[in-house]
Amino acid sequence: MAKTYPIRSISADEFGALTQVPALAFGETWPPEGLEHERKLLEFDRTIAALDGEQMVGSASIHSFKLTVPGGNAAAAGVTFVSVLPTYRRRGILTSLMDWMLADAVRRGEPLAILFATEASIYGRFGFGMASMHQRLKFGRGEGKLAAGTEGRDRGAPRLRQAEPLVACADLATVFDAVLPHQPGTLARDAKWWDHILADPPSMRPAGFSALRCLIAEDDAGPRGYALYRTQLTWGDDQLAAGTLRIRELTATDPLATAALWADLLGRDLTAEVIAPLRPMDDPVLAMLSDPRRSRPAPADGLWLRLVDLPGALRLRRYSTLTDLVLEVSDPVLPTNAGRWRLRTGGLDACEPVTCERTGDPADLRLSVQALGAGFLGAPRVGQLAAAGHIAELTPGSLARLGTAMSWDRAPFSPMIF
């Protein structure tokens, strides 16, 4: 009989021992401030260890999030801190950890589970689909010129103000909360998460970079945008400044505030390079640049999403058009999701609620729960998933109908990796 490794939640005083598992698995050494920073975020009844006797050999944790989905929001289990000791790989421990967390999400009534993958090849077998992408933008000196003609001038150009991030937290939250309902893939933030984002002990700063800085765009009515960033000033052998400005977040409520923030940061003196490592795929700055090639976009996978309660999840989001389709879904991990489901949507302006119910009617489309999770936030498009072999069209025209219904005006994006 194969050996089993019991899973249980840990107590707060066991946190130090648990951190040794991901430290060894990822080959990292965390400073004391970093560990304390992490401790403040954890929900210990949702933080678990796999055990071999008294030894912790696997770790995982869940954050209780509220995720913006197209036209609404949903409770989501944010899977994180997942690791297995290198000497205990290939023994089913990761599967046991994932089974525990998905069962916990079911118990708590969370229709979705989400994560950022350390390795992109791991989580598909647990039913997660890549539901968003982000990109890195990188500009050289003088390469970030914005084109004239920005629309949305009803409020006029904002003024810019430097601020201490912690002091300006209320202004940042005002802007963020205004943008949040319109940006699928973004996670709501309470005081705990703002403390996490703005915490800036010297030991946690990238080597050679400044403290976290904040730029606010505002008018007399209040804040309209902000940027969080760091700088590093270096000099070349030719005695020319070769500084780097690294943007952590840039968020705004209107086009003029967006343009003002980017123009300021891209035009800083002594700066040879501006890097924005985490930006949405449809970042408006790409449509503002005189030469968008100079942004050197480099895409990467972002949020991975799994439907825990399939009908519950599909009822929580809005759809761009009215549709009535039968989906035949496979889900070997959570069999309660498997089978045929009739999805009826009312479109953006309809008052009728979305319905998703079991049916014995013939299926229009056949797909896995992984594919449904990948398309849940509106990108990738259903057509792309079908072209890759993840969705089979059984009724002609049904693929286009589902793709149109699930599409959304903004690409999903999470500005925070957890």
319 and 275, same structural domain? no
- pLDDT at residue 348 in the model: 85
Residues 319 and 258 placed together within one structural domain of the fold: no
Please report whether residue 119 resides in a domain.
Answer: no
Q: What is the DSSP string of 95-163?
A: HHHHHHHHHHHHHTT--EEEEE-SSTTSGGGGT-EE--EEEEEEEETT--PBPS----TTS-PPEEEEE
Q: Do 96 and 167 have their domain in common?
A: no
Q: Quick check: 184 pLDDT over 70?
A: yes
The CATH number assigned to the domain holding 369 equals 3.30.1050.10
* Cβ-based neighbours of 243, under 8 Å, separated by 6 or more: 231, 232, 233, 234, 268, 270, 271, 272, 273
Would 418 be classed as within a structural domain? no
Structure-block tokens of residue 380: 């990738």
Residue 376's domain comprises 309-406
Residue 349 has pLDDT above 80, yes or no: no
Whether 105 and 195 map to the same domain: the answer is no
Q: What is the mean pLDDT of the chain?
A: 95
Residue 124: band (very low, low, confident or very high) from pLDDT cuts 50, 70, 90 = very high
- Residue 396: inside a domain, yes or no? yes
In this prediction, residues 318-322 reach a mean pLDDT of: 95
Structural element, H or E, at residue 269: none
Structurally, how many domains does the chain consist of? 3
Does 69 reside within a domain? Answer: yes
Domain co-membership, 173 together with 90: no
| Whole-number pLDDT of residue 153 | 57
Is the pLDDT at 154 greater than 70, yes or no?
no
Residue 115 lies in a domain: no
Q: Is residue 414 part of a domain?
A: no
Whether residues 327 and 233 share a domain: the answer is: no
Q: What is the CATH number for 291?
A: 3.40.630.30
Q: Which of 245, 269, 299 is the last residue of a domain?
A: 299
Domain boundary residue, one of 269, 299, 329: 299
Same domain, 139 and 272: yes
